[in-house]
Amino acid sequence: MKNMTRLAAILLIGGGMAMSSCDGIFEDLAINPNQPSMDAYFTTPEAVNDAVMTLYGYISTQRCLGASGSKTQIIRGDEASSNSDYGKPGMYGSDLNASYYTIEQPFTLMYTTASQASYVIETIGNVDFTGEEELRDAYLGEAYFWRAFAHYYLLINFRQVCPIRQMPRNSADYVRAPEAPEAVWDFIQEDLANAKTYLPNKGYWTGDQAGRVTRGAAAALSGLCYLYRSGIETHYGTDKTTFYNEAVQEFDEIIKGTYGTYDLADDYSDNFDIAHENNNDESILEIQFLGDVENNTFNPGTATSGLAFDSRGLMFPGAGVGYEGVVHDWLYEEFVNSIDKDGCTDIRMFSTLMFDDQKEEIHLHQDANGDPIRLEGPGGWHWEDMYPPTDEAEGFATVANQLAHPFKAGIKKGLDLSMPTLTNGDGSPRMTGVGAGTQEYVYNQPRAHGVNWRYLRFADVLLMYAEAVLSGGQQGSLTPTQAVNRVRGRANMPDLDNVTMDDVKHERILELSLEGHRFYDLLRWGELATRFQTLTREDPNFKKFISATDYEGFTTNKHEWLPIPINEINSNPNIKQNPGY
């Protein structure tokens, strides 16, 4: 599946909403008689598959949910900081503005995805699928799913959305007024209902097709949208209707196995590596990224790297050009204080963070011989190998541009530690970037990591189910306590006797940190402003990685949403900028 999304045939049939609003723009375009039209090309099942595969490509390109989108989602929360171009909008400084490219590009590409999905939906009936009706339905279900996903992303990030309900046919279709959030939520659910009708169950896609969406993915996204809508609109909307019953029903169907068997992976770390991509029972929806470890090549922008760079854009603090994210101390402490039944530090910490595991507050697990199991980074290196102490500093502070900021941990999720590594002449890790002319595909290239983003997984479904029931939804096959303890049990954590919303919130931190959910958790709980105010007051290093001056603070009634890109504002008179920008 990872390679299937890297097609040479990219069907660019609809841009973002930011288009010229001049009358006659389409009528004045010259038509090249030697270039076949979309209608002429879109006549075979293979062509339909190409169009559907391109939807996956739009989503995973670096300028959408690659480095731009995934970094913005992670860094916008309270978990981590970054001074990379991609992470700066999440630092709440001057770079969080309507002109910044990592905000504008996902906006445009999500509308492009919705446009192309609409084309598939409207025209697939004209293609002869005789004898392959099940495959036709699967393609149609994928189109409905990705159109819903695109609108979901736009709504929870930009708030104002002009839904693509049909393929744009003329200039007026690009300059429509945004619809009320409840209308957009309804449209998303309509598409997801259609997706569930047409998509296959888990197990239909096999081999190099594994990873394509299924009914389970549509149900999980539907439940998530019901949950998000209930919280977001309660706090920020005019329609306070909640949909917790509907959320519980969607999640419960997944838990009961209606769409195939989903379960927690035996090993928590299997959710964050290359080896278990698209073949993990816990995974429900994976955003596909590509890494070329076998050939040790890294070719951004070329055919072997797909629509863009196919990367997550992550790396360790101090690696490469030295600008990547660090984890804030509160999250480190949250894990340190989470002790399992055997008196050991929560095993999930070792897949989530890179840190000094020899600190006295860390209680290591032991192997069969009774020896401590050390935390390993790339090449099997330990913390002291990657950040050898000096007379002046230790840890991240040994990196010159981080001297003033003694953070305790860095992001580990999303990094492919199986990649080749580079060393200095003495065999120590090279943490300051690749050598001149080096073209190796190595862990300290920020664009080199091709680990799939497990966007929705079964553990998240269990926790969202518990949240929906505790919020007022009618209980299904599990109690909230059973659902949460099932997640805790995998990490060898003691059972809770009676789960509260505070327990669910705490468990989401331990289970899902740095997976792009935290900002939206705080958003739907109505806790963003108070959370950021507290951390800004109590942590002098909060959001001040590298630069102590860029962070301007979280502004209530502004930073809940991203700014509408300036190109859209300039070309569509029906849209007004979000408050505060």
Is residue 321 included in any domain, yes or no? yes
Report residue 293: phi and psi, to 5°.
-75, -40
Q: How many domains does the chain have?
A: 1
What is the four-CA torsion angle of 190, 516, 420, 297, rounded to 10 degrees? 40
The predicted pLDDT at position 178 comes to 97
pLDDT for 500: 98
Classify the C-alpha dihedral 378-379-384-387 as positive or negative: negative
317-344 burial by CB neighbour count: b if 16+ within 10 A, else e? bbbbebbbbbbbbbbbebbbebebeeeb
Answer yes or no: is 344 within a domain.
yes
d(CA 215, CA 204): 10
pTM for the whole structure = 0.90
Q: List the one residue out of 199, 223, 222, 216 whose CA is nearest residue 262.
A: 216
In a domain, 506, yes or no: no
Contacts of 148 (CB under 8 A, 6+ apart): 188, 189, 191, 192, 195, 218, 221
Nearest to 478 by CA among 497, 465, 461: 465
Q: Are 351 and 340 in contact (CB under 8 A)?
A: no
Cβ atoms 269, 351 nearer than 8 A: yes
Find out whether 387 and 416 touch, Cβ atoms under 8 Å. Answer: no
Let me know the angle formed at the C-alpha of 449 by 448 and 455, rounded to the nearest 5 degrees.
145
- For the chain, give the number of residues: 581
Q: Tell me whether residue 319 is in a domain.
A: yes
Q: Which domain holds residue 392?
A: 315-413+415-448
CB count in 10 Å sphere of residue 362: 17
Amino acid letter at 170? N
CB of 288 closer than 8 Å to CB of 211: yes
Q: Report if residue 14 sits inside a domain.
A: no
Which spans in 199-322 are helix H?
A: 215-236, 244-256
Between the CA of residue 53 and those of 88, 146, 150, what are the distances in Å?
A: 31, 11, 15
Q: How many Å apart are CA 246 and CA 219, to the nearest integer?
A: 11
Contact 52, 143 (CB under 8 A): yes
In sequence order, the β-bridge partners of residue 411 are 353
pLDDT tens-digit profile, the chain (581 residues) = 765 554 433 443 333 343 333 333 233 334 445 545 566 778 999 999 999 999 998 998 878 888 777 777 889 999 998 877 788 888 899 889 999 988 999 999 999 999 999 999 999 999 999 999 999 999 999 999 999 999 999 999 999 999 999 988 888 887 899 999 999 999 999 999 999 999 999 999 999 899 999 999 999 999 999 999 999 999 999 999 999 999 999 999 999 999 999 999 999 999 999 889 998 999 999 998 875 444 434 333 333 444 444 455 567 776 544 556 789 999 999 999 999 999 999 999 999 999 999 999 999 999 999 999 999 988 888 988 888 887 877 777 776 555 455 789 999 998 888 776 666 667 666 655 444 334 344 555 555 677 899 999 999 999 999 999 999 999 999 999 999 999 999 999 999 999 999 999 999 999 999 999 999 999 999 999 999 999 999 998 898 876 666 788 999 999 999 999 999 999 999 999 999 99
Q: Is 122 helix (H, G, I), strand (E, B) or coil?
A: helix
558 found inside a domain: no
Q: β-strand 80-81 against 326-327: which pairing, if any? A: antiparallel
Residue 454 domain flag: no
The pLDDT value recorded for residue 403 is 44
- The answer to whether position 365 is within a domain reads yes
Q: What Å distances lie between residue 174 and 23, 30, 147, 181, 187, CA to CA?
A: 11, 20, 16, 19, 18
